[in-house]
Structure 1
Amino acid sequence: MDKLLVATTNRGKLREFRQLLSQMGIQVLSLDDMPEKIDVEEDRETFLENALKKAKTYGDFYKIPVIAEDAGLEVEALDNYPGVYSARFYSIPYGGVEQVDGDKDSANIKKLLRLLKGKENRRARFVSVVVFYYPDDFGLWTEGYCYGQIIDEPRGDKGFGYDPVFVPEGYDKTMAELEPEEKNRISHRGKAVRKLISLLSKIYSTPKSNNITR
């Protein structure tokens, strides 16, 4: 395997994947690099189902190994919302639709902070489910979590998504204030990808079987 596709157009997410996968010595492509474009709707009810759908659809279409992820923020006081709706939280009925004045990340954060106003329980966690799919051969998946708290105002400009309002356990900085190496060490995505790399290393050193495993 000399190259694989990371099924995303999100530049922040792609940057993190490339940093995490750099040790594998393979070319990491994004959906923007593919000559023919297809859309895959993330319409499933769980992170795993969404990631599986994306990995298999893109892998079968492009005939290339694929890594697909679905990730999001679960907030305890909001019934674990935004969850699988994290990227489009601003637009769903739960808690009311938030107008997009600038970018969608800002609208998502604005809605989140509005719904949490006055609530003492600020516990939350980031979730990442990563699926690797080798067309007509095998697949596997891993998961990672990062626990922390939601603060009242955004801080930092080094992350994306909800990073500016999420402070990981044991830290006084938000995810968006951490250097990339430190964030990757503790993040949900970093944990899931390191598990994936470990599994791939074992699989490529032993005979493969036709299955999807965790």
Structure 2
Amino acid sequence: MSRRFDGQRILIATHNAGKLDEMRQLFEPHGVAVVGAAELALPEPEETETSFIGNARIKAHAAVAATGLPALADDSGIEVDALDGQPGVYTADWAETPNGRDFVMAMTKTHEMLEQRGAREPRSARFCATLVLAWPDGHEEIFEGTVSGRLVWPIRGRTGHGYDPMFQPDGYDITFAEMDPAEKNRISHRADAFKKLIAGCFG
């Protein structure tokens, strides 16, 4: 049985504005005020684990320790079958540059690796998200979500963030970046994990 969340305010342990906006929209119907790590000038902890769960736990517990607020952290990424599940937990790392993250560069790298391997179409992939909700007493709840699809090239669309312009979810002929944000938030990997979170801790 999951622990029920009965607070009025939750800290989202992310410095990613796009992710924070997505979370804000998802939490809106539940009457919980959302504050982001960047708004509180929290440092970003080093993500030293090799799993989505491990990195989400680091971020959630670091945010709780810094603020005393219950904190929700997400670790997510894209797994490409023809690349043996890469980039996976290293999705953001593939986009790192000295001037910040460049996901067009990361998507280009992914496409070039698929070409080098002669990967056949459809180039199946899945977005994975793990949510860890941590309380000040050390208790935590973990929820995982996925959405399956395929990678397309050239990239398409201007909404969304990360690999969204390259990812076409199963059952659609448009990418996440071409989709209305409300529709994407309804079917995304984060939405899948979030539904489980709401059922477990807010339902």
TM-score by length of 1: 0.86
What is the percent sequence identity of the aligned residues?
A: 39
| Maintained 8 Å contact 1:77/1:123 | yes
| Maintained 8 Å contact 1:100/1:107 | no
The equivalent of 2:4 in structure 1 is: none
Segments ≥4 residues shifted beyond 3 Å: 99-103
1:58 to 63, 75, 96: 63
* Unaligned runs of at least 5 residues, structure 2: 1-6
Check if 1:132 corresponds to 2:133. Answer: yes
Q: Give the distance between the partners of 1:147 and 1:140, measured in 2 at CA.
A: 24
Check if 1:105 corresponds to 2:103. Answer: yes
| Maintained 8 Å contact 1:142/1:193 | yes
**Paired residue secondary structure (2:197):** helix
Structure 1 residues 100 and 116 mapped into 2: Cα distance closer, same or farther (>3 Å)? farther
Structure 1 residues 112 and 100 mapped into 2: Cα distance closer, same or farther (>3 Å)? farther
Q: Give the distance between the partners of 2:186 and 2:18, measured in 1 at CA.
A: 16
Deviation at 1:139, TM superposition (A): 1.4
Check if 1:24 corresponds to 2:30. Answer: yes
The equivalent of 2:49 in structure 1 is: 44
1:116 to 101, 108, 114: 114
Q: Give the distance between the partners of 2:132 and 2:99, measured in 1 at CA.
A: 34
Give the residue type in structure 1 aligned to 2:70. P
| Maintained 8 Å contact 1:90/1:111 | no
Deviation at 1:138, TM superposition (A): 2.3
Deviation at 1:9, TM superposition (A): 1.1
**Paired residue secondary structure (1:125):** strand
**Paired residue secondary structure (1:38):** coil
* Unaligned runs of at least 5 residues, structure 1: 92-98, 203-214
**Paired residue secondary structure (1:44):** coil
1:88 to 85, 90, 93: 93
Deviation at 1:24, TM superposition (A): 1.4
| Maintained 8 Å contact 2:13/2:71 | yes
| Maintained 8 Å contact 1:154/1:164 | yes
